[in-house]
Amino acid sequence: MQLQHLLLLLAISLPLLDTTRAADPLPSWNESPTKRAVVSFVARVTREDSADFVPRSQRIAVFDNDGTLWSEQPMYVQLRFAIDRVKQLAPQHPEWQDREPFASLLKGDTNAALAGGEKAILDIVMASHAGMTINEFEELVNDWITTARHPQTKRRYTDMIYQPMLELLAYLRANGFKTFIVSGGGTEFMRPWSERVYGIPPEQVIGSSIKTRFELRDSKPVLVRLPELNFIDDQEGKPVGIHQHIGRRPIFAAGNSDGDLQMLQWTDAGKGPRFCVLVHHTDAKREWAYDRNSHIGRLDKALDDAAQRGWTKVNMQRDWGIIWPPSKNASHSK
Amino acid sequence: MQLQHLLLLLAISLPLLDTTRAADPLPSWNESPTKRAVVSFVARVTREDSADFVPRSQRIAVFDNDGTLWSEQPMYVQLRFAIDRVKQLAPQHPEWQDREPFASLLKGDTNAALAGGEKAILDIVMASHAGMTINEFEELVNDWITTARHPQTKRRYTDMIYQPMLELLAYLRANGFKTFIVSGGGTEFMRPWSERVYGIPPEQVIGSSIKTRFELRDSKPVLVRLPELNFIDDQEGKPVGIHQHIGRRPIFAAGNSDGDLQMLQWTDAGKGPRFCVLVHHTDAKREWAYDRNSHIGRLDKALDDAAQRGWTKVNMQRDWGIIWPPSKNASHSK
């Protein structure tokens, strides 16, 4: 190559390199050991001259949703959706006035309704999530998620996603990772907005599900949602869901509760470099502080495992400069 | 930009453009209405100024495997694997000598063994596919698929994939499509080799499956394959599998039998441009000729639907210049 051409190439590429060097891909993360650990792991697995180099196709990263990518207090967002839907459907179901958990729910006593435990929650979920086509359900979710607001923050739920985790997702993707959601929440509840909000396409969303059935209605094929559980993507279910859906073991996993323990164990036990991270809710002022004694997102056994196995812990109060994205409609704090 | 730099750029890019223009992305497809229909569809959905333009994220293409991407006669490859595995395990199972379908199988009378219908096949599949960890099973599949040969052609089964379909997969991917396998065959039977052979990564392989269970063995997490059906990805199951796994409707679907009918109907019924294609096995000389009366890959109802709905039919004899990739170890014909 002639010198003038070399100079031309350098002139083109040098400013690019400079920009790359200067831009912080994780601006909402405070300078801390947590941030340094993430950046160092990504460098180790992506540099071709690194002993820990991992080919692009094997850079699988999995993220829990509730409490890891968005807020889950004081009640899972999807349960809120289900309750709103039950209230909406109540006029068509006069029998609910005398039947639990619906009777309490319609009187506004959510605690009494949920006192029935798993059975009560299942009744509420089936009444609100089944009996329509997949397209009808998608529309219901879209309508709700764009209008409903959190009772305390008055924010839309999709404005209560964690800005630092958004940056982490984008940073991993920019480094050749394929990012997946692996959530106990419903697959069909997340997919309508996961691409818009997280940049994660529907085919990379793994969750719990009910069964669907193929039918021809007036020669038009539809998929109908049935009131029957298909899969619970929580605890021991998470590695099963990952295997069913992805078929290879992640090298990066992020969770925040005991529901994520097996996913973290499964990720950690693979050969080669691994990164397991637990989001620890330590910020009672800007979000919520909870762990071992919480009913929602209990973090107890996984906290012990994290210490034993050297998993990375995100201390939200210390590590995150902001929690939620700046919003025009609400203040930063709850 | 100075003239010399412009000339330099042109000198670099012109040969590239020329190559691109001249190269036929489907060289194993004869010039025929089928090939023209494929190329015209891809142009319609990928040109930004086209009324039928489809954004990249929605370019989902699904392919059946047996009989669509590789040969399925005179017996599904996976059943061959299962039978070989039963023979291998027989010394550890003296009780099989007197128990059908194993007794007939071990005497070499496959027809008598399969006379028990679905129940017999299920017994053979469970005996051969369950009871080990997912890693052990992957190893079994890898060992078998790299050594086993078709009794008539003496080719490896992965050398009996269809060269024109390989080109079609690559052509679609080059045009921004995401290609998926949607097969009645076992997910775990296809994933170990799908990326190497078809360029389709494990997370884009949807098939039938048995259940798996997460266990800690000596504190090491494993996933164990259970002798229990999880999902049958055939007929009405294919749209269900597509929805569970991908969460959006394909715009391109390829199949070859009545097992693919509902997948084609589901794809066809979406809004906007669609391409549904049926591979019709018409070449008794180079491969096999069969349709309405075949036990394997019966193509009857779907052939009627194709005519009614204007789906594209591949006439293998007329449309394909070669069937399987050139192989050093075997002749082209069976």
Q: How many CA atoms lie within 13 A of A15 on its CB side?
A: 3
Q: Hey, what are B200's tokens?
A: 């389709």
Give the pLDDT mean for B178-195: 98
Residue A19 is predicted with a pLDDT of 47
B1 band by pLDDT with thresholds 50, 70 and 90 = very low
Q: Which superfamily, per CATH, for A27-74+158-208+230-334?
A: HAD superfamily/HAD-like (3.40.50.1000)
| Percent of chain A topping pLDDT 70 | 91
Three-state secondary-structure class, residue A312: strand
Which residues of chain B have a CB within 8 Å of the CB of A134?
243
- At residue A156, the pLDDT reads 97
pLDDT of residue A22: 59
Asked if B230 contacts B209 with a C-beta cutoff of 8 angstroms, the reply is yes
Pairing of strands B60-63, A312-315: unpaired
Q: Give Dmax over CA atoms of chain A in angstroms.
A: 87
Identify from B214, B224, B231 which residue to disrupt to test chain A contact, counting A C-beta atoms within 10 A and taking the largest count: B214
This model of the complex carries an ipTM of: 0.91
- Please, which residues have CB within 8 angstroms of residue A142's CB and are 6 or more apart in sequence? A192, A193
Determine how many CB atoms are found less than 10 A away from the CB of residue A139: 13
CATH for B27-74+155-334, among 3.30.2310.20, 3.30.300.30, 3.30.420.40, 3.40.50.1000?
3.40.50.1000
Comparing CB atoms, the residue among B195, B201, B214 nearest residue A240 is B214
Calculate the average pLDDT of chain B.
93
The phi and psi torsions of A28 (rounded to 5 degrees) equal -85, 0
Q: Which of residues 18-57 of B touch A (CB under 8 A)?
A: 57
Q: What is the pLDDT of residue B159?
A: 97
Q: Which residue has the tokens 């989001």?
A: A279
Which one is predicted more confidently, B298 or B1? Answer: B298
Q: Is 70 exceeded by the pLDDT of residue B14?
A: no
* pLDDT tens string A56-85: 999 999 999 999 999 999 999 999 999 999
Is B25:B170 a contact under the CB 8 Å cutoff? yes
DSSP label at B31? S
For residue B64, what pLDDT is reported? 98
Residue B18 — pLDDT band, cuts 50, 70, 90?
A: very low
Residues from chain B that touch A188, judged by Cβ atoms under 8 A, are 247
Q: Which two tokens stand for residue A10?
A: 């350098």
Task: Using alpha carbons, select from A207, A228, A229 the residue that is nearest to residue A78.
Answer: A207
Whether A313 and A305 have beta carbons less than 8 Å apart is answered as: no
DSSP code per residue over A58-73: G-EEEE--BTTTB---
Cβ <8 Å between A214 and B247 = no
User: Tens of pLDDT along B252-308?
Assistant: 999 999 999 999 999 999 999 999 999 999 999 999 999 999 999 999 999 999 999
Domain regions of chain A by residue span? 27-74+158-208+230-334, 76-151
Q: What is the pLDDT of chain A when averaged over all its residues?
A: 93
CB atoms within 10 A of CB B9: 12
pLDDT (0 to 100) of residue B334: 57
Model confidence at B218, pLDDT cuts 50, 70, 90, reads very high
Q: What's the gap between Cα A301 and its chain centre?
A: 20
User: Across residues A170-183, what is the average pLDDT?
Assistant: 98
Residue B5 has pLDDT above 70, yes or no: no
pLDDT at B135: 97
Please report residues of B whose CB lies closer than 8 A to that of A191.
Answer: 247
Amino acid code (one letter) for A91: P
Measure the CA dihedral A313/A319/A325/A326, to 10°.
160
How far apart are alpha carbons B111 and B95 in whole angstroms?
20
**A310 inside 8 A of chain B by CB:** no
Tell me: cis bond preceding B101? Omega within 30 of 0 counts.
yes
- Quote the pLDDT of residue A17: 46
The whole-angstrom separation of Cα B69 and Cα B183 is 10
- 3-state SS of chain B: helix, strand, coil percent to 5? 45, 20, 35
Alpha carbon distances (Å) from B154 to A286, B37, B97, B146, B289? 68, 35, 29, 13, 19
Count of CB atoms within 10 A of residue B317's CB?
17
pTM: 0.92
Residue carrying structure tokens 């993220």: A63
Q: What integer pLDDT is reported at residue A328 of this predicted model?
A: 54
How high is the pLDDT of residue B241? 98
Tokens at A76, concatenated: 């899972």
Q: Is residue A334 pLDDT above 80, yes or no?
A: no
Task: Give tens-digit pLDDT for A38-47.
Answer: 999 999 999 9
- Asked whether residue B332 carries a pLDDT value surpassing 50, the answer given is no
Contacts of B262 in chain A (CB under 8 A): 214, 221
The pLDDT of residue A14 is above 80: no
- Answer yes or no: do A243 and B223 touch at CB < 8 A: yes
Cα nearest neighbour of B60 on chain A:
A203
Say if residues A277 and A164 touch (Cβ distance below 8 Å): no
Measure in Å the smallest separation between the Cα of A224 and chain B Cα atoms. 10
From residue B104, give the alpha-carbon distance in Å to each of B97, B101, B115, B121, B311: 8, 6, 10, 13, 42
pLDDT at A23: 87
Cα A217 from Cα A146, distance rounded (Å): 30
Residues B247 and B58 sit within 8 Å (Cβ to Cβ): no
DSSP-derived letter for residue B176 is: T
Give B216's contacts (C-beta < 8 A, 6+ positions apart): A265, B222
The pLDDT value recorded for residue B15 is: 45
CB within 8 Å: B243 and A134: yes
pLDDT for res B118: 87
Q: Are strands A205-217 and A178-186 parallel, antiparallel or unpaired?
A: parallel
Element (H, E) at B222: strand B220-231
Among all chains, which residue has been given the structure tokens 């699988």? A60
Radius of gyration of the CA atoms of chain B, in A: 22
Q: Which two tokens stand for residue A332?
A: 């930063």
pLDDT at A243 over 90: yes
| CB-CB neighbors (< 8 A) of B212 in chain A | 240, 243-244
Average pLDDT for A239-260: 98
Kindly determine whether residue A239 and residue B248, on different chains, have CB atoms separated by under 8 Å.
Answer: no
What tokens does B191 get?
């994933």
Section A226-243 average pLDDT: 97
- What is the average per-residue pLDDT within B163-167? 98
> What phi and psi values does residue B200 have, to the nearest 5 degrees?
-110, 115
Single-letter amino acid code for the residue at A126: M
pLDDT digits (tens, 9 = 90+) for A119-151: 999 999 999 999 999 999 999 999 999 999 999
- Share above pLDDT 90 across residues of chain A, in percent, rounded to a whole number: 89
Identify the sign of the CA torsion A64, A65, A67, A68: positive
Other Cβ atoms within 10 Å of A286 Cβ, number: 16
Q: CA angle, corner A262, sides to B222 and A54, nearest 5?
A: 75
State the average pLDDT over residues B10-14. 49
Q: Would you say residue B200 has pLDDT above 90?
A: yes
Q: Computed over its alpha carbons, how large is the radius of gyration of chain A?
A: 22
- For residue B161, give the nearest of B290, B28, B303 by alpha carbon: B28
Residue A2 is predicted with a pLDDT of 52
pLDDT at A331 over 90: no
